[in-house]
Amino acid sequence: MSHLSLKNDNDPKPSLTGDLDPGLSALIDRLAQGEALSGPELINLIDGRTPALAERLFHLAREKRNLYYGRSVYARGLIEFTNYCRNDCYYCGLRASNAKADRYRLTTEDVLNCCQTGYDLGFRTFVLQGGEDPYYTPERVAAIVQAIRQKHPDSAITLSIGEKPKEVYQLWREAGAERYLLRHETYDSDHYASLHPPQMSRENRLRCLNDLKSLGYQVGLGFMVQSPGQTTAHLAEDLLFIRDFEPQMVGIGPFIPQKDTPLGQEKAGSLELTLYLLALIRLIAPRVLLPATTALGTIDPFGREKGLLAGANVVMPNLSPREVRAKYLLYDNKICVGEEAAECRYCLDKRLSKIGHQLVVHRGDCVGFPLTAAVAPPIPMAFSSL
């Protein structure tokens, strides 16, 4: 069940009654005041959650988000440019051993057309996401990044294409990439090993994240909620890692099985716990860019709205050509695979306005992150010249 109702973000502070444990409420207050909690305290806060406690947490998370970002929601134009992958992660539908996957690659022209469509609709961030596809050599990716940078110099370019050597990340940074998304998946080594093949390791994933940070990327990490074998202690470790690493972006979503993988029969993660963790992350890392993910919308028709009301401030509509979207199946039953980009954007406009939020035309950089150039303030999409 979800403890979060779809009420407008302009609603006043809730009047809480019932099962609000004073000790756990005090822990939430300490987080909201910028204090660091210990691992055992976070475990207690997760295991002891109740509807009243969640309601208080969501309210404080919205207040903290509004302090830095207001009710602006930043749109990232997602371009899934290849579903080939050399890896064999046990949960992912793109895994190399999935013989049922219908593989595709987009050309540079395809990618640029997606960017132009998104730019015309008001998107000022493009996210190139794909499997670790050997066809896309470091030089090919750099050329695509340079082409986007040349056509859209006022837009941010984000990459999400896996683990690479530091010199490759540097090449892409010099080509014009500014952000990189690489979920750490889990901070616990044994849990990591249970989700990935032996040639992959938590240590190398952390090495990649540290390399990206050292090169000046805005770095995004994150994890799946209730992935097989995950414990509350694992979640507490993940939250402590987020606090200590200080990323600019955190992406979490419920584990959703993909039927053609070794974990395809496992139970999906819950909306309720995912929303609770989103709000905790907002208090632990108040300036972070926090997406209301497509996975949230997949497990609940109003999942993305509920994510925003739990403290998120980013959505990631799909700009990929409609004919390939159903082929990029990290998990089953993914939403919005049949919509045109414009349909998706205007649909989001309407849905967000109903909960007191506003999709804006803006790069949407992390507050406080050093920028190479000044950027304009957000422009409401509904009032921009599109």
pLDDT band, residue 331 (cuts 50/70/90): confident
Q: What is the pLDDT of residues 227-258, one digit of tens each?
A: 999 999 999 999 999 999 999 999 999 999 99
pLDDT band, residue 11 (cuts 50/70/90): low
The CATH classification of domain 65-366+377-383, taken from the options 3.30.950.10, 3.20.20.70, 3.90.1530.10, 2.102.10.10: 3.20.20.70
Q: What is the pLDDT of residues 13-56, one digit of tens each?
A: 544 445 789 999 999 999 999 999 999 999 999 999 999 999 99
CA dist 128 and 181 (Å) reads: 10
pTM of the model: 0.92
CA dist 375 and 369 (Å) reads: 12
- % residues pLDDT > 90 (the chain): 80
**DSSP H or E run through 79:** strand 77-82
Residue 340: predicted pLDDT: 63
Residue 384: predicted pLDDT: 39
Residue 201: predicted pLDDT: 97
| Mean pLDDT, residues 336-350 taken together | 74
pLDDT band, residue 373 (cuts 50/70/90): very low
Tell me the three state secondary structure of residue 313. Answer: coil
| Mean pLDDT, residues 341-354 taken together | 83
Q: What is the pLDDT of residues 276-313, one digit of tens each?
A: 999 999 999 999 999 999 899 889 989 999 999 999 99
H helical segments located in the chain:
22-32, 39-47, 51-69, 108-120, 138-151, 166-175, 189-195, 202-214, 232-245, 271-284, 294-299, 303-309, 322-325, 341-353
pLDDT band, residue 348 (cuts 50/70/90): confident
Q: What is the pLDDT of residues 64-94, one digit of tens each?
A: 999 999 999 999 999 999 999 999 999 999 9
CA dist 28 and 41 (Å) reads: 10
- Which residues have C-beta within 8 Å of that of residue 334, sequence separation ≥ 6? 294, 298, 325, 326, 328
Residue 19: predicted pLDDT: 73
Q: Among 121-125, 325-329, 368-372, whose mean pLDDT is lowest?
A: 368-372
Q: What is the pLDDT of residues 189-226, one digit of tens each?
A: 999 999 999 999 999 999 999 999 999 999 999 999 99
CA 26, distance to chain mean position in Å, is 29
Residue 263: predicted pLDDT: 97
Residue 327: predicted pLDDT: 87
CA dist 83 and 321 (Å) reads: 13
| Mean pLDDT, residues 176-189 taken together | 97
Residue 179 near residue 157 (C-beta atoms within 8 A): yes
| Mean pLDDT, residues 118-141 taken together | 96
